[in-house]
Amino acid sequence: MRYYTTMTALAVLFLFPLVWSGWSSLADPGGYLEMARYGEGLATYAANSVLVSAITVAGTLVVSALGGYAFARFDFPGKNLLFLVTLAILMVPYATILIPLYVLLGYLGLQNSPVGLALVFVMFQLPFALFMMRNAFEAVPRELEEAALVDGCATFQAFRRILLHAVRPGLITVGLFAFLASWNDFFAPLILLNDGADFTLPVAVVSMTQHTFGAVDYGMLQAGVMVMALPCLILFVLLQRYYVRGFMSGALRG
């Protein structure tokens, strides 16, 4: 009984801000209309966020799956050092390298580009994603892969047809984290994007809620919070069973 009471209290505590934001946004429906008409239009900013998040998720999944498989299954010179160097990215303060990255993207011709922004997000997701996927692949019995090789599969075929299915919960967990990080991030798009037509939702919402002398339109702000939160909630509810299995089936092993 005490367990259910505690869980209910925690659920109410965490859901209260979201319910309050939803109620506040509906109390002033004009906020949604103003958002839809602001600047380039809400649809444009949402499309930018979807594009950046899609590239981030795809890039993170491809690199972390291949890298995690290599770290889990192969031995090569400098393997442990390379893995530690990758994890060391977590120790670098996020804000301190955005300006150097902005300059680097300029040299690559990706400045003020959703693709360049997505590549930055992929880089920041790699330490966690590689750690998760390495442990996920290590949790898969080697006998499963060896059986596929004996049956005539090449190494990459076994990876694609057998192992990727075995680590699906880990992949979904990594993809969900990458989506949430790229969808909700405000600071990197603010620094790396200059053209208002390329703004993502967080930057656009903050911009559209600021009025004369710094006054904040809280009705529109709450509407923006709901627009940004709903896709995250829907994805988490749909994928939560895979998310839990991603942690429980060995994704945090070792």
Q: What dihedral angle (degrees, nearest 10) is formed by the CA atoms of 226, 232, 238, 240?
A: -130
Q: What is the pLDDT of residue 248?
A: 59
Question: Given this model, what pLDDT does residue 34 score?
Answer: 77
Structure tokens at 146: 């060896």
Structural domains in the chain plus CATH codes: 51-191+241-251 (1.10.3720.10)
Q: How far is the first Cα of the chain from the last one, in angstroms, to the nearest whole number?
A: 34
> Chunked in runs of 10, what are the mean pLDDT values of the chain (254 residues)?
77 78 74 78 89 95 91 84 85 83 87 90 90 87 78 77 85 91 91 85 82 66 83 83 62 48
Q: What are phi and psi of 42, to 5 degrees?
A: -60, -35
pTM listed for this prediction:
0.85
